[in-house]
Structure 1
């Protein structure tokens, strides 16, 4: 990133939940489901911000407060210290979310794996109710 970055704490934060089409507005989605993309990751959002030439920082040690299983967030800097935009196409956080949601499905890491395989093969150890047998 550039040397004259303003206060990092003041950067805008983008959580993957904001642009996840699988989530409801109550669960944290911030843009319309038709414009949102499926299960974006913080790394994909970061790459898309880089593609849009917007300074960003990926924080994988942070989680979404309403759903702490959703790990990772991206901090973005939309404006320079003098108030001019880094990318004139993206004037607001909402516009950035829509643009990133358009780019994520075309992300190079997306082309091969669309859905991560769920590895929750919980096999029950013994069948039946257990307990005492009736006489």
Structure 2
């Protein structure tokens, strides 16, 4: 019995830049800055796709054409070959990008990173800059 490998070349591509709030529209952001998330990764986008039950493939060796230092992209299958949607709630690539951008801040990897930072800043008092109070004349 032969296993059928899906042709992922026809799947939609999502680069992390598309939903990065730190980027401008000219740099490649495709959703509103208020709806975008800060510095998403391919792994986080992939985790969100699996949560939404959308088939995906992460390609870490690929680079974004406008910024070749930005490595990785995610291919997603929104519609099957018969034309039916994989997830009935998400009908377009734009809807998927907005939904993923909404989910990434709640991602388990991000919530773990933020908890220790909040406790350490609460114990430390306000930091003073190293500059003196004298004015230059």
TM range (shorter): 0.7 to 0.9
Alignment-derived partner of residue 46 in structure 2: 46
Contact persistence 1:6–1:81 (CA under 8 A) = no
Runs of 4+ with deviation above 4 angstroms: 3-6
Q: Could you say which residue in structure 2 is the equivalent of 1:84?
A: 84
Once residues 112 and 6 of structure 2 are traced to their aligned partners in structure 1, the CA distance between those partners, rounded to angstroms, is: 38
Q: CA deviation at 1:39?
A: 0.2
Deviations 1:27-60 (A, max 9, x none): 0000000110000000000000000000000011
Going by fraction, where is helix more abundant, 1 or 2? Answer: 2
Deviation at 1:112, TM superposition (A): 2.6
**TM-aligned CA deviation for residue 7 of structure 1:** 2.3
> Where does structure 1 lack aligned partners over 5 or more consecutive residues?
115-135
Cα separation, 2, equivalents of 1:82 and 1:5: 16
Q: Please report the RMSD computed on the Cα atoms of aligned residues, expressed in angstroms.
A: 1.2
Unmatched segments (≥5 aa) in structure 2: 115-137
Q: Provide the C-alpha distance between the structure 2 equivalents of 1:64 and 1:79, rounded to a whole number of angstroms.
A: 24
* 1:6 Cα deviation after fit: 4.4
Aligned positions of 1:88-103 closer than 5 A: 88-103=88-103
Normalising by the residue count of structure 2, what TM-score does the alignment of the two structures yield?
Answer: 0.78
TM-score (normalizing by structure 1): 0.79
